[in-house]
Amino acid sequence: MRGEFQKIVATLMRTLLEEHPTLLEKKEIVSLMDAEHCKDVLGLSLPNLALLRHRNQGRMIQGHGRYWEHAYADEFLVCSQWWKQHHRANAHALSRFVSALARRKPEHAGSRTLLRYVEAFDRYAAGGKADSTDVPAKRAPQARPPRRRGADWPAWPTPSDEDLRELARAMTPFVRFLDPGIVYAVVQDNRRMRAGWSSRLEALGIDPAIYLWESSPCVFPGVRRYAGSTEIAVFRQRATADEVPPQCLALDDNDYPKHLWAFVFTGKPFRKRGPDDYQLAHLFDHKEYGNRWREELDILPDAKEPVLPYGLFTSAANSAYVPGAFLRPTDFSPRLRSLMQRRAQQLYGRICRIVPPPLAVKPCDDQTWSLDNFRWSTPVGGVDNIPDFLEFRRERLEELFDKRHAALRND
């Protein structure tokens, strides 16, 4: 049956991404999101098709659904396109891949489960029959039967460019950016502290350029958002980590980016409550997976790949408070995202570098989307509480350095 192979693949990815996420290394997840790697190693046949993609990228490619709708670990979509004529070759490749994972961590609780997948794939590769009952089938996404004629969703109209401009005109007066003087104070303090913090980060194996590039507005160098099911589980204390998370002092959910805002308006650290009916929005992506920098930023043709984007997580120049009613458009509309990004560049571009080199904010050639065509609120906040905040962040970073060194001593 054509759907059985897909079901086994889907169940395998649930095992790897949700049930036993520590079986996969981070670099392996990155490889599984690379189309060329998946073509060479797993035999995926369609161009530009990787086994995994970030949920923000959607399941459609050129109008066709190529990925299951279910987001594994609430983050990844899994490819559903395993053509019947390639099943044996795919099964052989997947058997090698899964077998290597099981051999690498023989004592892992999930390795025995992986061996059942190896047996199922080996039967396929040998031309025999395997079905999805041979492996754990917990909530596996079902392969869809072909749709009957007339069963497609209706083709609803999408907003035109003018519709989006109308939405932007309604939104921009309510978007709250920090006063440039606040960002300037952070950048100046970073200049004072950069050498010392950089050497201490480097001594811990953390690339300081990720957080403290020249004229960086990063507020808490070394703090980044958790990424993937393993780091989420560790952060929420549902699991223990075999090793410290890479390229950071500490993981965070979304509190650290709000500490500066909280001090500006309340004189205290953030305490899980912000302004009513407003949510903090990041302007540029600060995670590695699904990052849209290639679409949203410029880079010189001969420049090296940019550093990891983690420093943008707590950047004073990379956030704004937006009414909750507008959050989804600013997450997924390239036009609205570009508008807010260019507004941040207009406010802060002369006092800091809002994205790490060699990246630069992409200009807009369409004059109908010029910043001058929209009404913006006056930047908010003052610097009265900034000295107290800078002292708070220095003390907090000292605590994080101490915790990391203590963890290394215990290892």
Domain boundaries, the chain: 2-134, 161-405
Number of residues that make up the chain: 411
More confident residue, 136 or 206: 206
| CA gap 179, 318 in Å, rounded | 13
Inform me whether the pLDDT recorded for 141 exceeds 50: no
More confident residue, 247 or 151: 247
Q: What is the pLDDT of residues 269-323, one digit of tens each?
A: 999 889 999 999 999 999 887 788 888 999 877 888 888 899 999 999 999 999 9
Inform me whether the pLDDT recorded for 382 exceeds 50: yes
Q: What is the pLDDT of residues 336-371, one digit of tens each?
A: 999 999 999 999 999 999 999 999 999 999 999 999
Sequence-distant contacts of 40-43: CB under 8 A, at least 24 apart: 41/93, 41/97, 42/90, 42/93, 42/94, 42/97, 43/86, 43/89, 43/90, 43/93
Binned at pLDDT 50, 70 and 90, residue 140 comes out as: very low
- How far separated are the first and last CA of the chain, in Å rounded? 50
Q: What local confidence, expressed as pLDDT, does residue 2 receive?
A: 43
Specify the pTM: 0.66
Binned at pLDDT 50, 70 and 90, residue 192 comes out as: very high
More confident residue, 139 or 187: 187
Q: What local confidence, expressed as pLDDT, does residue 411 receive?
A: 63
Q: What is the pLDDT of residues 92-115, one digit of tens each?
A: 889 888 888 888 888 888 888 898
- Token pair of 389 as six digits: 């905040």
Inform me whether the pLDDT recorded for 372 exceeds 90: yes
| CA gap 178, 382 in Å, rounded | 9
| CA gap 2, 144 in Å, rounded | 11
